Amino acid sequence: MQRRDFLISAAGAAAILEAQPAAKLPIRKGILLGMLPRSLSIKQRFELARECGFESMECGTADNPSEAEEIRKASEETKFPVHSVMNRDHWQYPLSSSKPEVVERSVKGMMTSLDNAKLWGAGTVLLVPAVVNPETGYKQAWDRSVAEIRKLIPEAAKRNVIIAVENVWNKFLTSPIEFASYVDQFKSPWVRAYFDVGNVALYGFSQDWIRTLGSRIVKVHFKDFSFRRDQQLKKNVADWPNLLEGDLNWKEIHAALREIGYKGDATVELSGGDAAYLKDLSQRVDRILAGA
């Protein structure tokens, strides 16, 4: 083959590859139980989630044993899996508190969440590890939370449940390199990252965080983010619009998730609504996973 012909052929092949649609990501579409209409029974909410096109559920901590059993039964009867538990007490009772009674309450909440996860067959418990505030400095938040999570690791291992640390607006772990370092220090398969694509938009780029965290990511939250100037209020406003209507670069997020080989759940974390709203939301997730 002449060099000129080879170059033309190579250019044509590259053009064909670029024209091909992005491959659909092998990710399950999750939804929060709290986003489904509260007028329905728990079982009916599971059924509606499936009807709307979702494939897995994330549930908040259930302190009441009867509620926990109802969720287990609903999941089993509908054959609709609970993939994660969203721990509930970590904001009000952070592991990073200087008060022993607050930390004790936080640990108790995590133990309940771990028990819920085992009962429901969920693989992770979402944990906000620390909260930096006027009473708790950054290093204190780091040291205290690490000490408490180390104590929780054996309990998580016993239940075959991963502690999934999430990035939130807690003034803590505000860079992907730091987040990766925080997870790595445990040297444990039972502590990994729960990555929220929208929570970093104010101070970073979701795709950069995904590529940096890589295989540390065990679960993902999907929500969009918008930061705009409100002319009437005459101030900057942060907002959580519907998926594909905010500032996130979903094509790059898709590419980054594909690059790291992520194959877990992507759970939508937005306001709830009726069946029509939820079906539309499910279709938006389909578009994201397809690289649209």
Query: Does residue 11 belong to any structural domain of this protein?
Result: no
What is the DSSP code (8-state) at residue 35?
G
The CATH number that applies at residue 188 is 3.20.20.150
Main-chain dihedrals φ then ψ at residue 229, nearest 5 degrees = -95, 120
- Say what percent of the chain tops pLDDT 90: 86
Domain that holds residue 282: 30-287
Query: Does residue 278 belong to any structural domain of this protein?
Result: yes
CA 110, CA 237: separation in Å to the nearest integer?
Answer: 33
Distances (CA, A) of 155 to 112, 148, 191: 11, 12, 12
Distances (CA, A) of 289 to 238, 253, 256: 25, 9, 12
Query: Does residue 9 belong to any structural domain of this protein?
Result: no
| pLDDT above 80 for 15 | no
Residue 225 CB-half CA count within 13 A? 17
pLDDT at position 33, please? 99
Residues 6 or more apart in contact with residue 285 via CB below 8 angstroms: 29, 222, 243, 266, 268
Average pLDDT, the chain: 93
Please state the rounded mean pLDDT for residues 121-136. Answer: 98
Confidence of residue 236 (pLDDT cuts 50, 70, 90): confident
For 40-95, the pLDDT digits (tens) are 999 999 999 999 999 999 999 999 999 999 999 999 999 999 999 999 999 999 99
Query: Does residue 17 belong to any structural domain of this protein?
Result: no
Confidence of residue 235 (pLDDT cuts 50, 70, 90): confident
What is the DSSP code (8-state) at residue 22?
P
Query: Does residue 14 belong to any structural domain of this protein?
Result: no
Query: Does residue 276 belong to any structural domain of this protein?
Result: yes
pTM of the predicted protein model: 0.91
| pLDDT above 90 for 4 | no
Cβ-contact 154, 184 below 8 angstroms: no
pLDDT at position 267, please? 99
Query: How far apart, in Å, do the first and last CA atoms of the chain sit?
Result: 37
Domain count, the chain: 1
Confidence of residue 292 (pLDDT cuts 50, 70, 90): confident
pLDDT at position 14, please? 44
Please state the rounded mean pLDDT for residues 5-25. Answer: 52
Please state the rounded mean pLDDT for residues 179-201. Answer: 98
| pLDDT above 80 for 16 | no
pLDDT at position 21, please? 58
pLDDT at position 237, please? 76
Please state the rounded mean pLDDT for residues 154-165. Answer: 99
Please state the rounded mean pLDDT for residues 221-231. Answer: 87
| pLDDT above 70 for 130 | yes
Nearest of 227, 229, 224, 253 to residue 240 by alpha carbon? 224
